[in-house]
Chains A and B, each alone.
Chain A
Amino acid sequence: MDILLEIKNLSKIYKTPKKDIVALNDINLQVKEKEFVTVIGPSGCGKSTFLRCIAGLEKPSKGEIRINGTCVKYPGRDRMMVFQGLDQLFPWLTVLDNITYPLKLAKRGKNKAERKEIANYFLKLVSLEGAGHLYPYQLSGGMKQRVAIARALSVCPKVLLMDEPFGSLDALTRDNLQKHLIKIWKETGVTIIFVTHNIEEAVILSTRIAVFSTGVIKEIIENHLIWPRIPENPSFVAQWEKVYSLLQDKIEKKEITNPLISERKVNLAF
C-alpha cells in the first residue's frame, strides 16, 4: 500500500525564558494508507504534541509533515481530529447540524437535504441514528465522542487523528467505543493515528504501536493479532507485556535520574 503520511525529522522545541523544552526530538514515521497506528507513552512524552503538529495546531520547530507528498503547515480538512474533551461539539448546534455544518464548509452535498442525508449516514455509522435532533448537552459522554467521530469522518479526511478520545470515559463505555471504532475503521478504511496511554487500548485497536519516550519514538511494534482481540489470549498478553516492558524500562530510568526522588530518599534516610 502507498505511503500516505510521512513525518521527517520532526522536532518541536518550546522556548521558555529559563530553558528550552524539547517536546519532540527528530521524529521519523511513515504511515501507510488504511493503517491504524497508536502512539503510546507516559504523560508529557510529547505524544499529544506530535498529533497536534500533524493536525497543524502546532508549528514544528524543525522537519516536515507530508501527506501524499504535499507539505502541510496549517489545519485542514484532510486531517480531522477528535479531542479528549467532552466539549468539542458546538453546543449551539444540534447533533445533526454539528455534522452538516462541516459538510457545508467542505462543500460536500449539493443542498441542505443532501447534506442531511450524508450526516444521517455517518450518525448511523456510529449507531446514533435518531439522535440528530438532540443538543450536545442531552448526550452522554460516550455519545458525544461518537458524534465527534461522525463529524470528523463526514468530511472524508485522509487521516483521522484521535487524541485520547476515550480518556474521559468510564471503562464500559470505553470498551464499547473501542469495538465501535474498529468496526468504523474496517468499514471506511480511514487511516487512523490514535494517541493513548492505555496499553490494552493500543493492543486492541491498532496495527502498529509507536512507543514514545520523552520526545522520541523508542520503538515501533507491529501488531497483527487476529480479530477479535481478546485480552485473555496468550498472544495478546505477550504483546501487552512487550509494550509494557518498553514503557517500564523508561520509567525506571527516570526514577534513577530524577533529582526530586533521590532527594526524597536522602531525606528518608536522615
Chain B
Amino acid sequence: MKKLFRYCLFVASLILIWECLARSGMYPEYLFPSTGKIFYTFIQDSSEILLRARYSLTLIFLGLGSAVVGAVILAGASISSKMVSEAVTTLMAIMHPLPGIALFPIALLWFGIGNKPIVIIIAFSALWPLIANIYNGLRSVPVTQLEAGKILGLSGSRLIFSVMIPAALPNIITGLRVGWARAWQALVAAEMVFGASGGEGGLGWLLYKRRFMMQTPGVFAGLLIIIIIGIIMENAILATVENQTIRKWKTTID
C-alpha cells in the first residue's frame, strides 16, 4: 500500500511539473498542451484510441507470440547441439544489431502491403533479445540441478522443459521485457513511417495522423495510451508472473 502511495505521488509530481511548464508560457500552447487538454482529448478521442490500441495489441501479440515460440525452439536447440549453438550465435551477431524497421522496406516487398510485414518485423525485432536471454538463462542453470534432473531420468526436451526452463525463468522474464519493448518500438515505427493500409491502423498511425493535422494534444493522448499499456503490462502482468514464480521461489533477489 505504501509502495502504491509512493508510486502515485511520483506520477502526480511528474504531472504537476508538466502542468507548471505548460502554464509558464515558455512554450506555445500548440506545442506544449496543458495536462487538462491532453486528458480531455484522451476522453473525447477514447473510442478511436481504444480501437487503435486494440489493433496494435493484436499485432504485438501475434508478433511477440511467434517470436517467443521461435526463441524457445532456437534456444532449446542451441543448448542441445553445439553446431546449432554456433549457427544461432553467428546469426545473432549478424541480425541483432539490425533495427527491425531497417528491414521493413524489404518486408513490404516480400510480403506485400498489410499487417503481415508489420507482424514479421515485430517478430524479428523481439526474436533476438529473446533468444539471447533465454539461451543465457538455459546455460546458467546450476549444474547440480541439471544433474539431479538427469539422475531422475530426464533427458532431451523433457530436461529442458522440466528443469532448465523453470531454472532459467529470471532470464526468460528479462527477455520478455526486452522483447515487449522492442516489439512496441518496431510496431510504432513501422506504422509511422509506412502508414496504415486501407484506413485501418494502430497507434503509430494515430500518432502520425494527429501530428499531420497539428493536433498536439491528440499526439500526447496517443502516447498516454502507450504508456498506460506499458504500465499494465509491467505492473499487472509481468509483476504477477514474477510474484507467482521467481519471487515466490526466491530464485531472484527482490
Contact = CB atoms under 8 A, between A and B. Distances in A.
Interface of A: 55-57, 75-77, 79-81, 83, 85, 87-92, 101-102, 105-106, 135-137, 155
Contacts of A57: 147, 150-151
A200 to B, nearest CB: 25
A92 B150 contact: no
B166 A75 contact: no
B152 A91 contact: no
A89 B150 CA distance: 13
A56 to B, nearest CB: 8
A80 B151 contact: yes
B148 to A, nearest CB: 5
Interface string B219-254: 000000000000000000000000001001111000
Given A92-B245, A92-B251, A83 B153 contact: no
A90 B153 contact: no
A201 to B, nearest CB: 21
Contacts of B166: 90, 92
Contact of A106 (B144, B147, B153): B153
Nearest to A136: B249
Given A76-B153, A90-B166, A105-B152, A135 B144 contact: no
Contacts of B169: 92
Interface of B: 142, 144-145, 147-148, 150-154, 163, 166-167, 169, 245, 248-251
Contact of B249 (A79, A88, A102, A135): A135
Contacts of A92: 166-167, 169, 245, 249, 251
A79 B167 CA distance: 24
Interface centre among B142, B248, B249, B250 (most CB of A within 10 A): B249
Given A57-B151, A91-B251, 16 more contacts: A56-B150, A75-B153, A77-B151, A77-B152, A83-B147, A83-B148, A85-B144, A87-B145, A88-B148, A89-B148, A90-B166, A91-B167, A92-B249, A101-B152, A105-B153, A135-B248
Given A76-B153, A90-B166, A137 B142 contact: no
Nearest to B162: A101
A137 B144 contact: no
Given A91-B249, A92-B251, A77 B153 contact: yes
Nearest to B251: A91
